[in-house]
Amino acid sequence: MILVTGAAGFIGANFVLDWLAQSDEPVINLDKLTYAGNLQSLSSLDGDARHVFVHGDIGDRALVDRLLAEHRPRAVVNFAAESHVDRSIHGPEDFIQTNVVGTFHLLESVRAHWGTLEGEARAAFRFLHVSTDEVYGTLKPTDPPFTENHPYEPNSPYSASKAASDHLVRAYHHTYGLPVLTTNCSNNYGPYHFPEKLIPLMIVNALAGKPLPVYGDGMQVRDWLFVKDHCSAIRRVLEAGTPGETYNVGGWNEKPNIEIVNTVCALLDEMSPRADGQGYATQITYVKDRPGHDRRYAIDATKIHRELGWKPAETFETGIRKTVRWYLDNQAWVQQVQSGEYRQWVDKQYGAKA
Ligand code: NAD
Ligand code: TYD
Q: What are the tens digits of pLDDT across the range 273-301? A: 999 999 999 999 999 999 999 999 999 99
Sequence-distant (≥ 6) Cβ neighbours of residue 296 within 8 angstroms: 138, 139, 140, 141, 143, 220, 221, 222, 254
Q: Which residues line ligand 1 (CB under 6 A)?
A: 5-6, 8-12, 30-34, 36-37, 57-59, 79-83, 98, 102, 130-132, 162, 185, 187-188, 194
Domain-embedded: residue 90: yes
Above 70 in pLDDT, residue 161?
A: yes
Domain-embedded: residue 79: yes
DSSP 133: G
Sequence-distant (≥ 6) Cβ neighbours of residue 5 within 8 angstroms: 12, 29, 30, 31, 58, 76, 77, 78, 79, 80, 106
Q: Which ligand is nearest to the CA of 10?
A: 1
* pLDDT (0 to 100) of residue 354: 61
CA distance 11 to 7: 7
CATH number at residue 164: 3.40.50.720
Which residues sit opposite 51 in a β-bridge? 27
Domain-embedded: residue 263: no
Sequence-distant (≥ 6) Cβ neighbours of residue 26 within 8 angstroms: 1, 2, 49, 50, 51, 52
Which atom of ligand 2 sits closest to the CA of residue 199?
2
Residues 174-198: tens digit of each pLDDT: 999 999 999 999 999 999 999 999 9
Q: How many helical (H) and strand (E) elements, i.e. helices and strands, does the chain have?
A: 14, 12
Domain-embedded: residue 267: no
Question: Whose CA is closest to 261, among 198, 335, 337?
Answer: 198
Of all residues in the chain, what percent carry a pLDDT higher than 70? 98
Residues 226-255: tens digit of each pLDDT: 999 999 999 999 999 999 999 999 999 999
Of all residues in the chain, what percent carry a pLDDT higher than 90? 94
Ligand 2 centroid distance, CA of 215 (Å): 8
* pLDDT (0 to 100) of residue 329: 98
User: Range of 136's domain?
Assistant: 2-190+226-252+293-315
* pTM recorded for the entire structure: 0.97
- Tally of domains in the chain: 1
The CA angle 95-99-103, to the nearest 5 degrees, is 155
Q: Which ligand is nearest to the CA of 354?
A: 2
Ligand 2 centroid distance, CA of 198 (Å): 5
Per residue, the 3-state secondary structure of 165-234, as one string, reads: HHHHHHHHHHHHCCCEEEEEECEEECCCCCCCCHHHHHHHHHHCCCCEEEECCCCCEEEEEEHHHHHHHH
Mean pLDDT across 94-109: 98
Q: Count the alpha carbons within 13 Å of 166 in the hemisphere toward its beta carbon.
A: 26
Instruction: Answer for the pair 31, 8: CB distance below 8 angstroms, yes or no.
Output: yes
Domain-embedded: residue 346: no
Ligand 1 centroid distance, CA of 81 (Å): 4
Domain-embedded: residue 29: yes
CA-only gyration radius of the chain, Å: 20
Domain-embedded: residue 347: no
Domain-embedded: residue 10: yes
The residue nearest atom 42 of ligand 1, judged by CA position, is: 187
